[in-house]
Amino acid sequence: MASLFILQRGGTFWRRSGSPLSRSLFFSNNYWLPRYCYTTVTTSNAETAPFPYQRVHQSVLLEEVIGYLAPQNGKIYLDGTFGEGGYTKRILDSANCRVIAVDQDPSAIEKAHQLANIYPGRLSAVWQRFGDIAKLRQPFDGIVLDVGLSSSQIASNRGFSFQKDALLDMRMSYTDEHGALCRLIPAHAIINQYSRDKLASIFTKLGQERFAKNIAAEIEKRRATSPINTTRQLVDVIMTAVPKRYAHHSQIHPATRVFQSLRIYVNDELGQLRSALESAVQMLNVGGRLVVVSFHSLEDSIVKKFFRDLAGQTSTSYIDDNDYIEEEGEASIADTLQSFNLLTKRALKASSTEIECNPRSRSARLRALERLE
Ligand SMILES: C[S@@+](CC[C@H](N)C(=O)[O-])C[C@H]1O[C@@H](n2cnc3c(N)ncnc32)[C@H](O)[C@@H]1O
């Protein structure tokens, strides 16, 4: 009789390995999850130390990510989006394994160094963009990406939020005493220098903003008299450009989509995701898993098509026919001899309980893939 493990808060997932039941579903967190996807994750007996820094970010789909990643003793994992280390710490606490943590934001990497002090020899922090993970030249037993912004970035004075007046910057990786990691164009330069058509195209393709042309026209008009440099100035332009009726009745703030599209453009978020996926599948050891959590439909559609292509479930390219933005070329799945198994037939979403505790999790979508050979 196969052994049965009970789901515990500390991160133990259960599975009846070898039994026919292991192919059915089990109910967790308000969701029926495919039981066969899970392997037992035993929480290490070592005392779990608290985070050595104050956290603002609440990790999304944490149990589910760890369940799919299934950390094991002696293995090595890549957290491509360290943020405030919620996933990394949980991986380290789940097994006696090692983690390489990557983030493009130097303030995240500072936290990773602090966390590394309480896991001697088990955590290395690398200040890098996840689109460049191939440079690590290292195979992994599991790779996780939690793409997007951390709550501390949203709360910062870097112009990500339309609810806070700040310089319209939006670069996730900025130049400081570390020197430049990459050359990103700040959002205010885009707003003040790009043509009206180009701005409208960014707002439409990356934000699905229905009043993109009106907003771009209003930007062109305003900046002719004085530059638009702050979040408040841009919000003001948007509020003038969108019809009053829409502004009053819309369920989301009228600036939401423009801000989102600018952030995606400034940080080349879709290009980064494509490169990271292509590299990640080449870097997985046999049995290794790739888990991706995304928050935007364009990102999720890239992940979905890429995973399905790899698992041989569709013959179409994972790039939609309508390319998102003109300078982005076709990306392709690199020639690979490995075979993969799709662990999530459908994207996993946060439970209603999690959404209640952390509304940010509402748009999260988790997809997972396993390398078979
Ligand atoms: C949602 S947060 C991750 C939160 C983390 N999972 C946790 O539990 O604390 C996303 C992080 O990914 C980082 N990031 C976004 N795009 C990146 C890229 N292209 N390369 C490296 N890091 C990136 C951001 O700087 C941010 O710190």
pLDDT values of the chain reduced to their tens digit, one per residue, 373 residues: 333 333 333 333 333 333 333 334 444 433 344 444 444 344 443 447 899 999 999 999 999 999 999 999 999 999 999 999 999 999 999 999 999 999 999 999 999 999 999 999 999 999 999 999 999 999 999 999 999 899 999 999 999 999 999 999 999 986 655 566 777 899 999 999 999 999 999 999 999 999 999 999 999 999 999 999 999 999 999 999 999 888 777 888 999 999 999 999 999 999 999 999 999 999 999 999 999 999 999 999 999 999 999 998 653 443 333 344 444 444 455 555 569 999 999 999 999 999 999 999 999 999 999 999 8
Nearest CA to ligand 1 atom 3: 83
Nearest CA to ligand 1 atom 8: 86
Q: Give the position, in ligand 1's atom list, of the atom nearest the Cα of 150.
A: 2
Name the closest-CA residue to atom 2, ligand 1. Answer: 150
Does any ligand 1 atom lie closer than 6 A to the CB of residue 254? no
Determine which helix (DSSP H) or strand (DSSP E) holds 111, and give its type and residue range: helix 106-117
Does ligand 1 lie within 6 Å of residue 86's CB atom? yes
Outline where DSSP puts E strands in 139-191.
140-146
Q: Report the alpha-carbon distance of residue 155 to residue 348 in Å, rounded.
A: 27
Domains present along the chain, CATH in parentheses: 39-148+278-371 (3.40.50.150), 165-170+178-266 (1.10.150.170)
Q: How far is the CA of 31 from the centre of ligand 1 (A)?
A: 26
Q: Name the helix (H) or strand (E) containing 367.
A: strand 365-371
Q: Is 142 exposed, middle or buried (0-12, 13-18, 19+ CB in 10 A)?
A: buried
Q: How many CA atoms lie within 13 A of 156 on its CB side?
A: 19
111 vs 20, 126, 224, 339, 354, CA distance in Å?
44, 11, 42, 36, 25
Q: Which of ligand 1's atoms lies nearest the C-alpha of 82?
A: 5
| Residue of minimum CA distance from atom 12 in ligand 1 | 81
**CA of 81 relative to ligand 1 center, distance in Å:** 4
Report which of 228, 166, 167, 162 is spatially closest to residue 192, judged by C-alpha positions: 228
Q: How many Å lie between the centroid of ligand 1 and the Cα of residue 38?
A: 25
Q: Which residue has the tokens 């599991």?
A: 142
Regarding the beta carbon of 358 and ligand 1, being less than 6 Å apart is answered: no
pTM for this entry: 0.83
Strands across the sheet with 365-371, in order?
Answer: 123-127, 98-103, 76-79, 140-146, 284-294, 365-371, 340-342
For residue 129, the ligand 1 atom closest to its alpha carbon is: 20
* Ligand 1 pocket, residue 279 CB under 6 Å: no
